[in-house]
Structure 1
Amino acid sequence: MHLSKLEIFGFKSFANKTGLSFSRGITGIVGPNGCGKTNIVDAIRWCLGEQKSSTLRSDKMENVIFNGTRNKKPMGMAEVSITFLNDDGKLPSEYSEITITRRIFRSGESEYLLNKNICRLKDITNLFMDTGMGTNAYSVIELKMIETILSSKAEERRRMFEEAAGVNKYKLRRRLALKKLDEVKLDLTRVNDIVSEVEKNVRSLERQAKKADKYNQVQSVLREKELDLAEREYSLYVINKNEEEEKIKDYTQRKEQVDIDIRIIENELIVYRSQINQVDGELRQKRNEISLHTEKLHTAQRNVSVSEERLKSLESNLERFTKELEELHFQIEASEDSIFDNQNKLDEIISDIQKSESGITTNDDTIQQRRNEVEEKRKSLKEFNDEALKIDKEISSKQNLLDNDQKSLTKADENVNRLNQRIQKITNDIAKTVGYLEELSNEKNDAESRFEESENIYSEKLKEKERLEKLLSELKNKELDEKSMLNALKDKIDFLQTLITNLEGVSKGSKVLIENSGWTEKEKTLFADVGNTDEKYRFALEAALKTVLNNLLIENFEELQNATAYLKNNDLGKASFYLLNGSDNGNKSFLEKLNSYSIKRKAKKIEKEESFLEWTFALVKTEDKWEPYFRKVLSNTAVVKSLEAAIELSHKYPGYNFTTLEGDIVQSSGIVEAGSSPKLDETLFGRKQLLENLKNDFPKFHANLEKIKEEISSTEEQISSIDLKTISEQGKLILNDITNLEKQISQFEFEKKKASEEIDKAQQQIQEYAKESNNLRDEINNFMSHIDKLKEQKHNFDYKIVDYEVELKNFETEFNNLVETHNQKKLELERLRGQLQNTKNIIHRAEENKSNILSTIEKRQNDITETSSEIELIKESTEDTRLELDELNYEKQKLVEQENQIDAKLKAIKEEAAKFETELSKFRSERQEVSDFIHGADVKLNEIKFRLENLIEHIKEEYSTDLEFKEFEDKDSFDFKERRNEVHGLKEQIKNLGPINLLAYSEYEEERERMEFLQGQRNDLTNSEKDLIRTINEINETAQKLFSETFQEIKANFQKIFRTLFDPGDEADLIIEEGIDPLEAKIEIIAKPKGKRPTSIELLSGGEKTLTATALLFAIYLVKPSPFCILDEVDAPLDDANVDRFTKLIKEFSVQTQFIIVTHNKRTMESSQNMYGVTMQEEGISKLAGVHFDEEVSQN
């Protein structure tokens, strides 16, 4: 068997998936410091189940995951797999090849796999137990472990011996057996407690069964007497019921006769009501007629008013129309005058037009002659202008070519400027890109910081979650405590309520008087119920008031006589009373005053005593009306610190009582009552108030419980709000951001390079445009010279044109003056023609206005005629309406008289009807009296029926039988009261028995069987305890024997190998502490190389310690070899000579044990058959190169 393959991925510095293959023999792992060699050893140790992060050189287990470098992002998981070739079956598995895998995630979750199947750490540990492998075995040895193995407190050394002896499985079995023994002892304790409780229950149920038997006997007598009483009461109720039913029948007949009389009167009233309705209808009709006439009268009055207003309006219009007609006659005269004046003006305008037309015809010939001369001059001027225009065109052509060259030159200059600006812009962009690169680099650094912060937050949140979970556990425990307290309080309330309801602790006589009302109807109160005190003083007050607590409070002597008579007559024993209003004579009052003075003097002395606490009457909480009675009862009783003090003070102050807080009391008579404090059910004083206090406390406890539940809910919400998975995912997102930033940085670097190339290209284009600009400037100079010559020719022509233009202008001025004069005459002619047309229009408008006025005059004359006619009609209509008003007033007066007659008739009929209403009221009153009597009899009958039904139901419920009517011979002499008292007495006997458990006998049998079963279980546990103790002793004996035998073998081998590594005469020994268990004893190593006599092995040199530890290790291998051994820089302290001895020994043992050596020593390297070189070409990432002898094999 050997370790054949190791695969590492994401563990510490191994970011990339890395594989190492191991063959039998010696494999060396070499490399410079800090390259990650020891990380391979840590990976093997971690995969085998190492749980201590400090052993792996880490603060916490999650830190073994690759944490990233400047160029590579962190990983979220680490995984290590080890493959063993199990060809000799040394590992307890049916597989010939076994692969163990361990993974861990940044969230803290981890998992183990065995041949790619999920398993537990326990499965891995059990697989390697007592094989020499595993995290605590001697298969992995580091340099620092040399000191640990050889130190005086070396637990590592003991574990190596135990692994070699194979006693780990026995120690595990012993540990499990001891744990099981503890559990058995705990179970046995619990069973003993339960058995004790069950035995107590069995005894209790046995008492309850006897009480149930007594109950059955009394219940039988009670049944006989109560059934006889019930049958007698039933028969009496039946007789009373029949009597009441007869009474109801008689009065019902009387009620029916009254109902007939009522119906007769009601029929008469119906007739009268019909007449009243009829006459009332006539009255309403007549009033409606009056209302209609009144409305007509008001309408006629309104019409007269309207007609008068209309008449006034028409007369006003008539006056206005007359004035308007006079105004129109004046307007028509004005229009006729205007027409006459404008007709004369028209004749004058026609004469002026004829003269103007004659002058215009003469000027037309002169204007034509002048026009011809102007045209000749214009033609000559045009020829000169055409020649000048030709020169202008040539100048323009040359100027266009010049402009084009200048534009090209300008464009070339603009291109140069544009390229320069482009270069400047690109230069600025490069500067910005450099800035962006710096920003991205800063962002990347920030992202890496955030990732580290995310890791810290994850750790903090994990701690916070653990803290909250701990708090939640504490709150839930607190909730259980509060629930227990609440339940205990509720039980105490229920218990007190039961005590109060059942009058527990109250004397028999007082109890009887409280439960029965035969002696008084007033409320019955005990002295114990009118006061209270603090819990601290309850027992003291209970002792002080013990003689009066059962006293019934009686107001006067008459009530006292009634109570005592009731007790005597019913043979119910005696009771104690407190007479509140007792009368005293004057002499007694005087003596009391003298006595009071003496008492006060003694009281002041008692108050000065050191052991004095308080007077009992001062501790009572009660209403003001009860305070004098408590003061009277307790005036000579004080509370002191102890019973000893009470006895001492009672001797010192005779006539006083002294009580303690525990309820002990020394009375003035010398009687001492002392012992344990009374229980809750034995106390009477303030019991009711105590119950009220507890009920008041109950909501507070309940509120506390609800508050704790809210805190639990809040804490659970806080726990659920801590999402470790999300924080882990956020870490992954930050890693993605870092990757994206790296991509952006690469992109900007590319853009920077591209921009530099673009600048070079632009500068080349600038040179080409400069060459083109020089050529264009030469062409521009040539064009400008030619244009100057053409402009000179053009200048000469311009002078000639100016001369011709002046001459032409003179001719045109003369011609224009002539034309202007001619045009003015034409304008005058047109003005006269317009004036002629305006005059004609004025005459036409005057004639139209005259026609309109004549039409208006005609219309106003018609309006005057119509208005006059309407005025006459309105005057006639108004007169008719006034006549109608007089007639309506007369008719209304007649209708009012008829209304009064009908109203008098209606009143007479109502008076007759009222007489019948009075008679009807009398009959109804009689019927109500009969109905009330029937109702009273019916209520009494229902009460009898109710009692009858209750009696039947009670007997049916209590005794499951029906009652029958019977005639009793002794019904007249039978004493119901006596029988009820007998029944009550029997019920009291049952009640005094207390709660009865009728199932007690069956429960007793069940509980007894349970007790026998539990006793059997207890016997089984006792036997199991003995068996476990015997097994532990056997395990100890076997393990001690194996350990001792193995120790002796290792000791002999150690001495032999030590002399091989040092000199044959050197001394070495292993000594185990004597007198104690070998499994717990200390193991001491003695090493004296080269004649040295060190007082302690720790005084040896580093090399000597290494060889000594090596000798011990191989001494163990001779007894129980490990399939493989990993040595991490163990040879570092050795010189060359010792290295040779070391390597020689390793070669000898490599036949049966596979060695993997991490080393810097060249001699050790030479002894290796295979070798792996660990490098760190990329910062922070380990890489392997493997060789077999001198031949390179692989590059991972």
Structure 2
Amino acid sequence: MYLKRLEIYGFKSFANRVVIEFDRGITAIVGPNGSGKSNIADAIRWALGEQSPKTLRGGRMEDVIFSGTQTRKPLGFAEVTLVIDNSDGALPAEFSEVSVTRRVFRSGESEYYINRSPCRLKDIIEMFVDTGIGRDGYSIIGQGRVEEILSMHSESRREIFEEAAGIMKYKLRRDEACKKLQKTQENLVRVEDILAELHQQLIPLESQSRIAQQYLDLRERLKILEINRFVAQYDRHVSRIKDIKEQVELLDREIANHREQLNLDEQAQHILHEKIENLREEIQNHIESRHELDRGIERAKNEIRLLDERISQYLRDNQRLEAEIREQEIYIETKQAEIDTHLRKKMENDSMIETKKIKLAELNLKAARLQDELSHKQQQAESRRKDAAQILNKIAEYRNNIIKNQARSDNLLELYNNTRKLIEKKTDEKARLESNERQIKERLDSIWLEKQNIADRCDDLKKKIDNNKKDAAELYTSLQTRKQRLEGMKSRLQLLMDMRKSYEGFNRAVYRIFEASRRDRALADRICGVVAELIEVPKEYELAIEMVLGSSLQNIVTESEEDAKYIIEFLRRNKSGRATFLPISSVRPRGLTQSEKGALTMPGCIGIASQLIQCDPRYTGIFENLLGRVVVAETLDHAIAMAKKYGYSFRIVTLEGDILHPGGSISGGSSGQRSVGLLGRKREISELQAAIKNEESSVAQQQAMLREKEREREEFENKLGRDEELLQELELIRTAEEERAQHLSSELQKIEKELMELRDNALKQDDELKQVRSMIEKQLEEISCLEAQNTGVQNLLESEDLHLRKSVKLKQELEGQISEIRVELASLEHKGAALNQQIKYLESDIVRCQESIDKKREQIRNNVIEAEKLKTALKEIQRDINNRQEELDELCGMLEKNERELAEYNAQMEALELRIRDETQLIGGIVEKKHHYEVQLSRLEAELENLLNNMWEEYGITYNTAISYVRDSIKLSSINSEIQKIKEQMAALGEVNVNAIDEFKRVKERYEFLEAQKRDLIEAKEDLSRVIRYITKQMEEKFSQEFELINQHFQEVFSKLFGGGTARLILEDQSNILGSGIEIVAQPPGKKLQSLSLLSGGEKALTAIAILFAILKRKPTPFCVLDEIETSLDEGNLDNLGRFIKEFSRDTQFIVITHRRNTMQVSDVLYGIVMEEKGISNLVSVRLEDRAS
């Protein structure tokens, strides 16, 4: 495989289409500086997918497009095509020739093609992975790439070695797996967030759904039970009313016979009752007096017991206090004895302290005298030592200065020459840096303008996204509200349809007829319909028409009397109840008389009921019959005024359903909440169907609007993402350029400062040399004098040191004695302080005990006084008790006499009352029995009426209809408790959301689906982690193996290029093979082993070239582009490089961009890049072997 052809159009300076044919071997591309020859390497690198404008020597990607000249307009796009010979099948493609094309437009859009078929950049990268070809490979080596290898950052060198080691495909797979793992983790987090939200919804929805279903079941069961109870209660009431009326007549006759005897007994009872009451009043007065005396005596006894207890308590307190006083007096005597003992010990200790202090003073005086003598001798010795040291230091200092000055003198001339050379070099470098600085500032201005435009565009996009999200949120909220409303309407419609299908609200006979007509065609043909189904009433008149028609709404309309007879026979035959029929042929219309029609002009009159409804013309007579003599009024007041005027001759119904019947009776009031009426059902179904259709249309429209908002937001976000990426890219470029500008500025300042310093140094160096030589002569004379002085000082020091050692020994002995006495003295003083502290503590303890004894003796005296006072009070209370007891004895005698008299009267009264009670009970029993029957009769009749009304108002059915709901399985004995239980259960459910059943099912299905998704994501995450670990292990093994082989080749190639020496590659962190930096250590011939940073420029470049050829030797790349890598090499090294290129060209195709003659001479084909027209590069070529022939 090799690069066969390069096609360029609109790329940088190539305004015209240029086609460069390549062959195996070495192709050189030459040209003057600025001709655009390095754009060839940039074109190849760009076509292989390079994304960094900085690497392509530009500020942004649009800079690669030809920008025009004074005579040529800019182009709209740039395109580069690489045609690669793939006859050996090295690339994973089925073609012997593979073309790779990249195209970029000024709008920023890029296109990639493989064999003219659109593809992704990823496809191109994957096709060339581990071939050495690619944007990160080692197939294109320029000055920047050499600098990267030579960079101080050892981590920057890794990419080229990874490509050479063949782990790039593993790295791409690992990176892709890591991205998938990250994406999987993000998806897992999102799924978990959604699951958490759904779980929060499920908990209340599950409860609501369960409650709603329970509510519906209970409501249906309650309806069945209440209707069964109604039928049973109705039947019982009718039978019971008949029996009660017969019993009431019999009881009336018995009551009259017993009332006469009762009157006589009641007169005698009244006289005796007055006597008994007087006597009872007198007895009650005596009893109250006795109770008052008893309570007084009891209170006095309680006071005596309380005073006795308080006296006893004072005596016990005194005994306890006297015992405590005795204990504290003994304690004081013990503590006083301890104080006397401590005082004796303290006197002995004070005596010993005084003795030790005297001895210590004598020793301190002797030690002070010895210290003065010793200090004087030490000062003399120290003075002489200092003199000797100063002499020696001066000698050493003079000798060191002589050595330094001699070395300095040798270097001064060389320094002066070097300084002049540096001045010239720095001046040239300063001019170059100033030129580069101007170019960078121009590029930074361009970048700032472009960033500003993109930032403005990003702000505008963010505002659009925020507005879009706000609109979408409002649409979503509105959509959810509409969906909930739609679901409610659908549920209501389904309920009404079910009711119509099951003839809910019709009596049993009508239900049986229509149920049978579904199977019996002959029966169905004889039925036109029921009144409720054949009439259409405006909503505002529904209540009035429904109330006035009442049960007539269930009348069945037939064509003839024969049809009605046929259906009646069907009912009788099947025992299905009774029904009313309206044959069209026999029912005649009715209407108001001419005089009655005057009511239509009265205030509040709406019109005749038959004219306010709509029906098929066939049934006009039927409804004229039913409603022709019914007038509809606005209010009850209007209806009453109308009825009075026309003598209650026709029926009048108000809009609220109140009815004035002919003859004067009025029906009205509230019917409470009830099921939908028979008339309103059909209308409501039609209205709901139309409303549902409109609502569904609105929902669909809002859903479409919401999808459009989402698409619009996605488009905005994509644009924003592209712009933000571009901003980041520009920021990176700007940062790099600013860093470069700062670096250049600092370099310029540094060079200017260095130039000034170099010029000053050149002027000073000659004067400094003369001064140094003069100093050396003077220092040699001083050394001779100092050595003579040093000999005399040393002799005196030896004599004085002997006397000083004797004095030091004597002083140490005295200090030991002083230390011992001070320790003993400190111990004695500490002991004395402890004794003083103990004495103080004991004395304070004695004082506290004495104070406590005094307080307790005072308390004993107070207790004795209080006890005497209580004994005096106790005697007074005992005298009061004796007086009260005498009064009580006298009162008890009078009470006994009164009670004997009362007993006699009571015996007489009891006999009389027994006779009256028996008679009264007999009459009362009969009356009560009669009243009970009458109450039962009234209650039963009212209940019967209420039963009928309640059943009609609650469920819209009559007794005949209710019979169809009767179930034999229902036990009437427990029906009330079951109904009550169900109502309690329904009330306990609270507010019920019937729609929660469907909502819970929907949310639960989504929750279970996401749970499955979560499990799949966790499994995928584990699989990806295993794959990453496996790939990482493979990469480490392969990189280690290949790196070692490249290292061996590097040592071999280095030795050949340098003509000797050694070099090696070192992994900085062996424990982190895939993240470790790579250090290059080289030892050119004749030099020490050193780091790459310490080599000269030429040595660095040749070392980097040695690494490249080592890589090519281990893993040859199909083609290699070298862009002026030999710039810093001398002629000898250029010849070595040429030989290596020639040698390696057997396996690798070389495209060399150069301006060095030695490199051109080893080339097989030579292309020249020239600018015949300013700013536009053109191509000329010659095959060197043809020219040689």
* TM-score normalised per structure 1: 0.40
Larger Rg: 1
* TM-score normalised per structure 2: 0.40
